[in-house]
A and B are shown apart, each in its own frame.
Chain A
Amino acid sequence: MANFVSSIRFSDPYFSVLLMLGIGVGMAVAFVLLSQALGPKRYDRVKYSVYECGVDPFTTASVRIPVKFYLIALLFILFDLESAFIYPWAVLFRQLGWFGFIEMGIFILILLAGLIYAWKKGALEWQ
């Protein structure tokens, strides 16, 4: 261990980077801990009430939301991010030519397979 510490040369340009990372992580930890230690803790009705853009709440927040919403949301997250792959491809579409077209076709086909599967399994049914 002593060997390891002495092997760090403080003139190393990377040392400053490591120092920055250390400070970053340290600050993050400090923020979280300090806010827990110093922050005022007042527990009253208003604090525990639901925040509805300043309007007085008229129901509790723990309404049962049908699980259908979660399913749609999950599917949205997945397909939404896959579409992120299409943007760089679209920018370079002309340069990539037919090769890029076919490759993206395969990619979209696999996504489509996923969509059809979800559909057939009834994940998109909304009764």
Chain B
Amino acid sequence: MMEPAAYLLLSGILFGIGVVGVVARKNALIILMSVEIMLNGVNVAFIAVGSHLGDVTGSVFAFMVMTVAAAEAAVGLAILIAIYRLKETIDITELNVLKW
């Protein structure tokens, strides 16, 4: 069995890319994609640790995360469509009806 450290490195990279994407991007769709990358990074960590320990909890957790991510994506896309219809943009810096 390979050491999980390499997989954890990968998961750290994915999570980091996601975090940077959320913080740095202005397009709400890209931010949504970055969040999904974060969640996938988490999944890699769960599966790596689970298989290293010979424990199914990790894999089950990854399944749950995937489902939740899909539900989140569906709701997020719906909100984006609604906002695009009203405003013709999904640039978050232009959302200023409410003070940030």
Contacts and interface: CB of A to CB of B under 8 A. Distances in A.
B67 A82 contact: yes
Main secondary structure of the interface of A (DSSP, over half): helix
Main secondary structure of the interface of B (DSSP, over half): helix
A22 B70 contact: no
A91 interface: no
Contacts of B95: none
B50 interface: no
Contacts of B77: 70, 73-74
Contacts of A85: 63, 67
Interface in A1-58: 16-17, 20-29, 31-33
A70 B81 CA distance: 9
Contacts of B63: 84-85, 88
A22 B12 contact: yes
B70 A32 contact: no
Interface of B: 4-6, 8-17, 19-21, 24, 63, 66-67, 70-71, 73-74, 77-78, 81
Interface of A: 16-17, 20-29, 31-33, 67, 70, 73-74, 77-78, 80-82, 84-85, 88
